[in-house]
Structure 1
Amino acid sequence: MPELVAQRERRKTLYVTEPLGSKLGLDIVIIPGGSFLMGSPDDDPDRLSNGSEEPQYLVTVPTFLMGRYPVTQAQWQFVAGLKQKKRKLDPNPAHFKGDVRPVESVSWDDAVEFCDRLSIHSGREYRLPTEAEWEYACRAGTTTPYHFGESINTNLANYNGKYKGTTAVDHFGIANAFGLSDMHGNVWEWCLDHWHDSYEGAPTDGSTWVKDGEDAYRVLRGGSWDCLPWHCRSASRDAYTSNCRTDDYGFRVVCVAPRTLP
């Protein structure tokens, strides 16, 4: 099993690196467990009118580790070269090419296969984040529409089509209090959960919310380079079929927290 390597400490946040070969790694951040209000408040002027961001409710999330950035194309290419578990992966699917740009044009099914291969390679459990984990990690203790405040502009995030495509991860050099970058814009990020039209009946422990029976729609979070600003809010949510691939759909990984870290 490759060892996690402690990289640095910044803003009192510990980063560790999952080795991917001899020259590449995947930075993951320890997200301390805690409780937060999930969803948007009644007085949010940008709250979606379809009711999908309500009602707000208290969620308690256990400690986990999360990718510091969306998965990059270089990281994708390495994992795509590992032994197949259930499905083939295109080693170079992205429309906007660049090793340090986020991989995009990958489906939910593709992202799950990536996590499965990475789990086997590393000996640790990797998966997509639950929707609650994603919002908790994005907010990082904030209650504002964005983790950096009440408003957003194109000096803070890639949205609204200004950049005409994805930008390299950490292009803006802005991280939230947990040390995560690119949580607003750049690429939508797949989550484990099935789509539900509201939060009525949602689990309060941060676990995956699934539906009975077959439902192929899966949650997307964070907005993208091609989105209007309100789609990039911490509470904003969308969904699409698990086999859909577009040039603004990507993902980041979660690692189940081990008992010990370097």
Structure 2
Amino acid sequence: MDYDITEYPRVYHGLCHLPEARLIEIANKAGASLKSIKPGLYGQIVESILKHIESFDELKTLLTPKDFDIIGQKNSIGDRKTWNRPYLDYDHAVFVDMTRKSYGVVQRPVRTSARNASHADLWLELASLKAWSKLEASQKTKVAKSLARSLGDGFTFVDLVGPHELMRFQHTAFKLHFIAIPGGKYSMGLTDDEKKELTRLAKKHGIEEAKYFARDIAETARPAHEVKLPPFLCAQTPITGAQGKKFTKSAELLESNHNIYWYGAKAALQLTEQSATRLPTEAEWEYIARAGAVRTWLNGEEDPQEYTSRILSAKLLEDDHPFGVCGLGWGTWVEDGWHLGYKNAPVDGSAWEPRDVPNVVRSGGFLSHPWQTPGEEFMLHCTYREQVKDREYPVLLAKDLPKRKK
């Protein structure tokens, strides 16, 4: 197996805790030769084992409950006798912990969030999708003109878009369109039912990569928790070719039918400063991806392969997302700092400990298409997220609602 210790260090360290005699037994079962390895060199025995197995699933079959007891206690999983986690047995819990990807231990400094929702309560018409849907078309237009005035020079109301008739504005100087996203409540993160669905799909695919995708999402996007977020403005698309040239030269054009620009983390932050905008929070991004609370996948009910092929072969604005926001599948930077899971995450839609440079990206299924394995379609799940370092991604800008002018 092509094993990288920097990516899965707990596999290596976990096995190194086993007695030498036991490691030799495992090596023999795996077909690994130990002739050139001197006694006491645990690390070399482990490396030989990992080179000769085809997958972590094979490794699991080579380990006994006693092995998991030792590894679990040494890796701080706890004791089998005191283990009490529903839906997860002890051996599997230790195995999952061992094979969890390393996301690094160095956390960048926390900065103050750029999000300021202090004026959101002044726009009661946008408090929720339900509140907005109750308005007549003439009332929506009246609110739109009021919001355009309040946004200041450079913003003009364009039209109402999508099935919810959401307001769309243009920033004429930047040639950017923004959509007013009503606030609302929803369950953020992978729910129990969604977890079962991913597990079922992974088993259906029957390949190792699908299992790892499903497991990674389950580990990084839980627990599901209710979030109530205020209304905000979101760019209709990520920064494209024509817009990207106006902001910075430190970006790369992704040559495709959509002409999306890629930005490094620092450049993405500079872009928000230059345009007097901000990055969306994770909660805002997922709220849009879920179209409020009605979607689990970016592709809705459509087959993921057919959806992705259809969207990528069309123009960017031909995406038919219910909120009118296009290009979510490319993967975009968000403001929150990376956390392995959502325990103690904020419930008001705010950014969670943003770092001095962004390090979290949501989605990314389009960037990997055509997919090499069926498991890669899981990147279209509305909960998919990953920690990113030294890579470039598209930028989807957001903006807070202004103080309301009469």
Q: Helix, strand or coil: the match of 2:307? A: coil
> Structure 1 residue aligned with 2:388, among 240, 243, 250?
240
Q: CA RMSD in A?
A: 2.8
Q: Helix, strand or coil: the match of 1:46? A: helix
Asked if 1:145 corresponds to 2:296, the answer is yes
Judging changes above 3 Å, is the alpha-carbon distance between structure 1 residues 215 and 42 closer, same or farther for their aligned structure 2 residues? farther
Aligned partners of 1:130 and 1:193 also within 8 Å: yes
Judging changes above 3 Å, is the alpha-carbon distance between structure 1 residues 146 and 7 closer, same or farther for their aligned structure 2 residues? same
| Corresponding residue for residue 192 of structure 2 | 42
> Structure 2 residue aligned with 1:206, among 340, 344, 349?
349
Give, in angstroms, the shift of residue 145 of structure 1: 2.1
Asked if 1:182 corresponds to 2:317, the answer is no
Q: Helix, strand or coil: the match of 2:308? A: coil
Deviations 1:140-170 (A, max 9, x none): 12343225524543442359xx96xx97523
Aligned partners of 1:5 and 1:17 also within 8 Å: yes
| Corresponding residue for residue 66 of structure 1 | 234
Deviations 1:10-57 (A, max 9, x none): 231110001126xxx100000011111001122323273131111100
- Alignment gaps of 5+ in structure 2: 1-151, 200-213, 369-375
TM-score between both structures, scaled by the size of structure 2: 0.51
Report the identity percentage.
Answer: 25
| Corresponding residue for residue 403 of structure 2 | 259
Deviations 1:125-145 (A, max 9, x none): x10011111101111123432
What amino acid is aligned across from residue 334 of structure 2 in structure 1? C
| Corresponding residue for residue 113 of structure 1 | 270
| Corresponding residue for residue 122 of structure 1 | none
Asked if 1:53 corresponds to 2:196, the answer is no
Judging changes above 3 Å, is the alpha-carbon distance between structure 1 residues 52 and 178 closer, same or farther for their aligned structure 2 residues? same
| Corresponding residue for residue 85 of structure 1 | none
Q: Distance in 1 between matches of 2:302 and 2:401?
A: 33
Judging changes above 3 Å, is the alpha-carbon distance between structure 1 residues 222 and 203 closer, same or farther for their aligned structure 2 residues? same
Instruction: Report how many aligned residue pairs link the two structures.
Output: 228
> Structure 2 residue aligned with 1:17, among 167, 170, 190?
170
Asked if 1:4 corresponds to 2:161, the answer is no
Q: Helix, strand or coil: the match of 1:35? A: strand
What amino acid is aligned across from residue 359 of structure 2 in structure 1? R
- Alignment gaps of 5+ in structure 1: 81-88, 120-125
Q: Distance in 2 between matches of 1:174 and 1:225?
A: 13
Higher RCO (CA < 8 A, seq sep 6+): 1
| Corresponding residue for residue 372 of structure 2 | none
> Structure 1 residue aligned with 2:363, among 210, 222, 229?
222
Deviations 1:85-143 (A, max 9, x none): xxxx42x5224277x51102x11211110110111xxxxxx100111111011111234
Larger strand share, 1 or 2:
1
Q: Distance in 1 between matches of 2:256 and 2:159?
A: 29
Judging changes above 3 Å, is the alpha-carbon distance between structure 1 residues 61 and 152 closer, same or farther for their aligned structure 2 residues? farther
The structure whose Rg is larger is 2
TM-score between both structures, scaled by the size of structure 1: 0.77
Judging changes above 3 Å, is the alpha-carbon distance between structure 1 residues 43 and 230 closer, same or farther for their aligned structure 2 residues? same
Larger helix share, 1 or 2:
2
> Structure 2 residue aligned with 1:96, among 250, 255, 270?
255
Aligned partners of 1:2 and 1:19 also within 8 Å: no
